[in-house]
A and B are shown apart, each in its own frame.
Chain A
Amino acid sequence: MNRNRFEKILAVAAAVLLWQLAAVAIGEEVLLVSPLKVVLRLSELIFEAEFWGTILFSFKRITLGFFIALAAGTALAILSYRFRIVEIFLWPYISIIKATPVASFVILCLIWLSSSQLPIFIAFLMAVPIIYTNMLGGFKSTDRKLLEMAEIFRFSFGKRLLYIYFPQVKSHFVSACSVSLGLSWKAGIAAEIIGIPDGSMGEMLYQAKLYLATADLFSWTVTIILVSVLFEKAVMCVINILFSTMEGL
């Protein structure tokens, strides 16, 4: 185990210990439940079929929103890079989406969409400006000298994408995915808490708050963090494999 990893584990252990001490000191489970209680509650939940169904419900919607944002953000970035007029006309929309609070969008969108569609749209909305801005920045930073080389050797559009643009935007794409994945989950769950679609993780959090079931609240929060982190790791792994495959061509 390397030193960095060991230090991180030590920091997490210290945080959990502090949490346990605080819970003991407060002595009121409704206010702060102990980590031990959370682990016990989680170990009960994982044996319930409804638990996995709830995770699947939110997972499907939030990841769908993220992937639509990934496709749309990339496509819009390519269009904006190719046609400046597209970038100019998109600028107000992207700026508004970036500046508007998630809650405002959620409440507004509840008028147009069903509560079960809401997390898809909100996850999409939060991810798309990040992906668009990062990808456009990546395209704009493409080495002009390599583009001249491509012109001399008459590269097709596909070749330019594969050999020049993809390697240049790789780091921008990876950072866009990393940031927008976490944000999609946070915003998607926030949308579920406000919209309360049946059988969602947001609904479970809302119920836990309603009945002051602090152990449930913490257990669902831990679950959301774990699912979000695992999904991010999986997506990053796939992206790295894809880029490595391309470079090996």
Chain B
Amino acid sequence: MDIIVKNLCKSFGEKQVLDNINAVIRHGETTCLMGQSGVGKTTLLNIMMGFVTADSGEILNLPRLKSAVFQENRLCESFSVITNIRMANDSLTDGVIMQHLAAVGLEKEAKHKVSTLSGGMKRRVALVRAILAHKEILFLDEPFKGLDEETLNCVQNYLLENTKGLTVIMVTHQIEEAKALGAEILYLKNGAIE
């Protein structure tokens, strides 16, 4: 079922961040939230993820099992790449994890501690973890942040292949990133969807 955002409002102190947001997010498709910095994209995402409570309004048909790539990587730095991925899904075999790591060019780093990886590598680990969590909805907050041009193509292809039929909500500033994933775009301006 499609996710329906109804009359959603949120303010922080005097600042109204979301002002009567209404939107339909298609089930099994990728939707991209775009807009300038500070317009409330991440706030909307955080409300949907359950970390922030809306002042008023509601979100209907939001799936219970969620997965996410956060704005920061939020990895457990003292553990290995493979352990970080398995944290989100105990049933994964080493073979499956290695196959996904290979797809994003990280097969050699599987047993390395996350703290030893570069920023771009950590981002890819966070992406693989989110995909392999196998949940009903995937939230992506600027998922390609810190990736170089070459890696970006590889990771975009990886996401495209592994999000077929999955409801994905992505926040990005780059229209090219939204297009690469074939996403429907919701543009936020002045706290409302245009």
Complex Cα–Cα for A89 and B188 (A): 48
Tier of interface size on chain A: 10 to 19
Asked whether A145 and B76 contact (CB < 8 A) given A153-B67, A249-B83, the answer is no
Instruction: Tell me if B87 and A247 are in contact (CB < 8 A).
Output: no
How far in angstroms is the closest Cβ of chain A from B173? 21
B49 contacts A167, CB within 8 Å?
A: no
- A146's partner among B74, B80, B83 (CB-CB below 8 A) is B74
With a cutoff of 8 Å between Cβ atoms, the chain A residues found around residue B87 in the complex are 153, 155, 159, 163
A153: chain B residues within 8 A (beta carbon): 67, 87-88, 133
Tell me whether A152 is interfacial, beta carbon within 8 Å.
yes
| Nearest CB on A from B109, distance (A) | 16
Assuming the A-B contacts A149-B70, A152-B68, are A247 and B78 also in contact, with contact meaning beta carbons closer than 8 angstroms in the complex?
yes
The smallest beta-carbon distance between A106 and chain B, in angstroms, is 41
Contact check, A148 vs B74: say whether CB atoms are below 8 A apart.
Answer: yes
Q: How far is the CA of A249 from the CA of B74 in the complex (A)?
A: 19
Least distance between B67 CB and chain A CB atoms (Å): 7
Number of residues on chain B facing chain A (CB within 8 A) = 20
Q: Tell me the minimal C-beta distance from B100 to chain A in angstroms.
A: 16
Partner among A151, A152, A167, A248 whose Cβ is within 8 Å of the Cβ of B76? A167
> Chain A 147-163, CB within 8 Å of chain B: the 1/0 string?
01101111100010001
> B95: which A residues are within 8 A, CB to CB?
none
Query: Could you tell me if B66 and A152 are in contact, using CB atoms closer than 8 angstroms?
Result: yes
CA distance A153 to B66 in the complex (A): 7
- Whether A145 contacts B66 by the Cβ 8 Å rule is no
Report chain A residues within 8 Å CB of B76.
146, 163-164, 167
Minimum Cβ distance to chain A for residue B91 (Å):
13
Tell me, in angstroms, the Cα distance from A248 to B88 when the chains sit together: 17
* Interchain nearest-CB distance for A57 vs B (Å): 40
Residues of chain B within 8 A of A163, CB atoms compared: 76, 79, 83, 87
Instruction: Report the minimal beta-carbon distance from B3 to chain A, rounded to whole angstroms.
Output: 16
Q: Given the complex, which residues of A lie within 8 Å of B70, measured CB to CB?
A: 145, 148-149
Choice from A149, A154, A155, A167 contacting B74 with Cβ under 8 Å: A149
Q: Across the interface, which residues of A come within 8 angstroms of B72, CB to CB?
A: 145
Does B13 reach chain A (CB closer than 8 Å)?
no
How far does the alpha carbon of A247 sit from the alpha carbon of B116 in the complex, in Å? 14
Shortest C-beta distance, A141 to chain B (Å), equals: 15
Which of B49, B77, B78, B113 interacts with A152 by CB under 8 Å?
B49
Chain A positions within 8 Å of B12 at CB level: none
Q: Which residue on B lies nearest to A249, using beta carbons?
A: B83
- In contact, B83 and A152 (Cβ under 8 angstroms): no
For A159, the chain B residues whose CB sits under 8 A away are: 87
Minimal beta-carbon separation of B182 from chain A (angstroms): 24
Q: Kindly name the residue among B66, B76, B80, B88 whose own CB sees the greatest number of chain A CB atoms within 10 A.
A: B76
Q: How far is the CB of A146 from chain B (nearest CB, A)?
A: 6
Given contacts A148-B51, A149-B74, 10 further A-B contacts (CB under 8 A): A145-B74, A148-B74, A149-B70, A151-B51, A152-B68, A159-B87, A163-B87, A167-B77, A167-B78, A249-B83
In order of increasing CB-CB distance, the 6 nearest A-B pairs are: A149-B74, A153-B88, A167-B78, A163-B76, A247-B78, A152-B68
Residues on A lying within 8 angstroms of B by beta carbon are 145-146, 148-149, 151-155, 159, 163-164, 167, 247-249
Contact sample, A vs B, 21 pairs, CB 8 Å cutoff:
A145-B72, A148-B51, A149-B68, A149-B70, A151-B50, A151-B51, A152-B67, A152-B68, A153-B67, A153-B88, A154-B65, A159-B87, A163-B76, A163-B83, A163-B87, A167-B76, A167-B78, A167-B79, A248-B80, A249-B79, A249-B83
* Chain B residues close to A by CB (< 8 Å): 49-51, 65-68, 70, 72, 74, 76-80, 83, 87-88, 113, 133
